[in-house]
Structure 1
Amino acid sequence: MDQNDDIDVPVHFLCPISLQLMRDPVTVTTGITYDRDNIEKWLFEFNNATCPVTKQSLLDQTLTPNHTLLRLIQSWSTLNSSHGDFVRNNIPAPKPFLHKTQIAKLLADATKFPHLRTRCLKTLISIAVDAQRNQTLLESSGAVVEFLTSVIKSSELYTTEREEALSALHHLRLTESNSVKDILAKDGEFVDSLVLQVMKNGSYQSRGYATMSLKSISEVSDPTRLIATRPELLTEIVRVLQDRISAQASKAALKLMIEICPWGRNRIKAVEAGAVHVLIELLLDETEKRSCELVMMVLCQLCGCADGRAEFLKHGAGLAAVSKKILRVSHLVSDRAVRILSAICRFSGTGRVVQEMLLVGAVSKLCLVLQVEGSLKMKEKTREILKLHSRVWRNSSCIPLHLLSSYPS
């Protein structure tokens, strides 16, 4: 049956990406609604970070179920059921809300009969994405979280089961549910499993989910746990950034580093994991504002230690990449760039470094900072940098004449 000839389908029931009928409508932050399968492929499989219709960047890639549209589709499905298989095959029938007893039975069966475990995990995922009320019900059930973490922690299970469990846990709105985060933050074995099993050996998608889970857990973790961060965790975070799994996973990895690096020797561990080189490479390619800010924040933290500055200067494009971002992205990026240059000039300002800053335009950018509107604190730090090496820079032909008037005396 041809849908255009025989069935009058409302246009808002169609998926904007493929013009197919929606089965699970979800709305992105731009306000456009898509079918879940299609938009998840667009975002995560094809690694696009924009809204297909508006072309706007999706800084937050949360997919919110559009329950109103789903009810309209289901009502339309009921009214048009006389059209036969086409309607029944393409439109999901209304599903009743679940009860705690149903979830308890589902978990009991999966625990008692291991061969039902994969089916149980898939069912939990479908329950979580089906309705907001179901999602809340799963979150409130400690038994569900306990079951999922036990699957993830078990070394005897197939990788596919572990990945299904991670996907289910991800759909429990871990980023929003403090109760779930608190449970997981206290489970050291679970965190170790995420690092040593999933992030080392998992698929791109499962590594992305694990990174997002670890980022959420770090937000409620006790400082003593953050101080004792395993070097393997930072190695795997850096690998997620290097592999550029998705925009969402990269941002989660950067936020995780921002949480971890201030504690103990974690900056050194991150530097030893190769973070500085990877961050500079990201900075060279990144154009999205929030991503640039996160990269610069982590880079600024790492340049606060001698090892970080040494690795920064080993990269041939480090000074140029940081200088280029000044006054081009946001105040936060400019501020962190000035701080990085300040740390380099104060503690690592060799003759070669001072000359390179002239050649790549860093000194000219610093002079420009003094001419434009900005925070007094950033301008004061800029003056300190320029005064520090004024004998080399003040009369250099590399500084445009119209900027020399800004050079502090």
Structure 2
Amino acid sequence: MEEVDVPSYFLCPISLEIMRDPVTVSSGITYDRESIERCIFSGKNKNTSPCPVTKQPLSSDTDLTPNHTLRRLIQAWCTLNASKGIEPIPTPKPPVDKAQILKLINEGKALQHQMRCLQSLRSIANESERNRRCLESAGAVEFLASIVANESSIGTRSSDEEALYILYCLQISEAGLKKLIISRSNGEDFTEALMRVLQRGDYQSRAYAALLLKSMFEVCDPIYLMNLRVEHFVQIVNVLRDQISQQASKASLQIMVELCQWRRNRIKAVEAGAVSVLIEILLETTEKRDSEMLLVVLDQLCGVAEGRAELLRHGAGIAVVSKKILRVSNVATDRGVRILSSMSRFSGTSCVVLEMLQVGVVSKLCLVLQMDCSLKTKEKAKEMLKLHSRVWKNSSCVPVHVLSSYP
């Protein structure tokens, strides 16, 4: 493409790219609509964002006045320079308004028009951040949630999957998520509807449901989270076990971290079979962040006797935790040592102590004392080595060069 000098006033002050849909804000500055809307709506829970140039506050309901004159100048300039590789800029569609959305939603309440309505809502949501906020304010979230809750054909690519996708795309505000948590349809709250999708939906629907649950639980009242049932944990663990997508697995791990802050939830997670699933995934994964999160959740679950018993019941439990120490990251090392410390202090039977020796835990702990680890982690390693020194110190399983580090 031939190099062309672009007039500076054709460029958006934020992105420094040619404006496709120039709009003027209340501060008098003209921006490309997509760029300024992204800026205004980026803080979901904030009422205002500063104008990037003047720093004057701009509220989320700021009027963006189309600059038709500048748009026509840009379009004319693009046409004149088409031979130099400049692509033409089409006339932008007018932004959607609340009345249009309300009309669509009302039409979508009739079953025969529902799928067409959802496809239109999806198209609107994908266009811009402004459209997504407009959809939320017009009641689209409640409409979509009612479809998911009332859908009887979960497991097929139908309106429930479309509704779940749009709900995920909307990036619902904190207030909207809190409202969604307590919304009810047919006597059932929306969390129950999502759990049903996790149980019976196809892979794509389950992935969207997991991502929505993650967002909801992040803003949820702790009392609500503590009252979740074992069956809820079973469905979350099944998403991990089935490895339906990287995004869904990550969301499920984040949900587990959020829920397992409380002892009662740790016990429920253990009863749901979380420990063995986490160990199996840990055996396979080589990804740093995944390993860290798996160890974080295992550390939480080993904070209760039931979790420690399940880790010991798995033949590779102690071995895989030991293997990750000093091989992934400082975070993984810290969590791995914490898990072994829990096992050592509260479940340190002679069989466990011997197994730790055989799978190389003692060597790893000695190495931790020599490496650049946190002081707290070194202290835990030292405590374990001292606690079981009678069994470990004179063992032939410990390499001679490592014994010099034995406290």
TM-score if structure 1 supplies the norm length?
A: 0.75
Matched, 1:119 2:111: no
Residue identity opposite 2:130 in structure 1:
R
Classify 1:368/1:319 alpha carbon distance in 2 versus 1 (closer, same or farther; 3 Å).
same
Classify 1:264/1:342 alpha carbon distance in 2 versus 1 (closer, same or farther; 3 Å).
closer
Superposed CA deviations along residues 63-122 of structure 1, whole A, max 9, x for unmatched, are xxxxxxxx9xxx79x969x9xxxx9xxx998433211111011011112x2211111111
Which position in structure 1 is the counterpart of 2:147?
Answer: 151
Residue identity opposite 1:97 in structure 2:
P
Q: How far off its partner does 1:186 sit?
A: 2.4
RMSD: 2.5
Deviation larger for 227-236 or 185-194 = 185-194
Residue identity opposite 1:146 in structure 2:
E
Contact 1:185 1:220 in 2 (8 A): no
Which position in structure 1 is the counterpart of 2:46?
Answer: none
- Pairing 1:390-409 to 2, within 5 Å after superposition: 390-408=389-407
Contact 1:271 1:311 in 2 (8 A): yes
Alignment partners' CA distance in 1, 2:231 and 2:91 = 46
Alignment partners' CA distance in 1, 2:174 and 2:113 = 30
Which position in structure 2 is the counterpart of 1:327?
Answer: 326
Deviation larger for 268-277 or 151-160 = 151-160
Which position in structure 1 is the counterpart of 2:193?
Answer: 193
Matched, 1:97 2:107: no
Superposed CA deviations along residues 216-246 of structure 1, whole A, max 9, x for unmatched, are 1111111110110121111011110011111
Aligned length: 326
Classify 1:317/1:139 alpha carbon distance in 2 versus 1 (closer, same or farther; 3 Å).
same
Alignment partners' CA distance in 2, 1:241 and 1:122 = 30
Contact 1:367 1:406 in 2 (8 A): yes
Q: Percent sequence identity over matched residues?
A: 55
Classify 1:98/1:318 alpha carbon distance in 2 versus 1 (closer, same or farther; 3 Å).
same
- Pairing 1:9-24 to 2, within 5 Å after superposition: none
Superposed CA deviations along residues 139-158 of structure 1, whole A, max 9, x for unmatched, are 333x1111011111114466
Which position in structure 2 is the counterpart of 1:169?
Answer: 167
Matched, 1:209 2:205: no
Matched, 1:133 2:138: no
Which runs of at least 4 in structure 1 moved beyond 4 Å after TM superposition?
91-94, 155-159
Contact 2:151 2:160 in 1 (8 A): no
SS at match of 2:261: coil
Q: How far off its partner does 1:165 sit?
A: 0.7
Structure with the greater alpha carbon radius of gyration? 2
TM-score if structure 2 supplies the norm length?
A: 0.75
Alignment partners' CA distance in 2, 1:92 and 1:152 = 37
Contact 1:326 1:333 in 2 (8 A): yes
Alignment partners' CA distance in 2, 1:292 and 1:217 = 24
Q: How far off its partner does 1:264 sit?
A: 5.0
Which has the bigger relative contact order, CA under 8 A and spacing at least 6? 1
- Pairing 1:235-384 to 2, within 5 Å after superposition: 235-263=234-262, 265-384=264-383
Which position in structure 1 is the counterpart of 2:57?
Answer: none
Structure 1 gap ranges (5+) = 1-7, 9-70
Contact 1:277 1:311 in 2 (8 A): yes
Deviation larger for 353-362 or 337-346 = 353-362
Classify 1:92/1:109 alpha carbon distance in 2 versus 1 (closer, same or farther; 3 Å).
farther
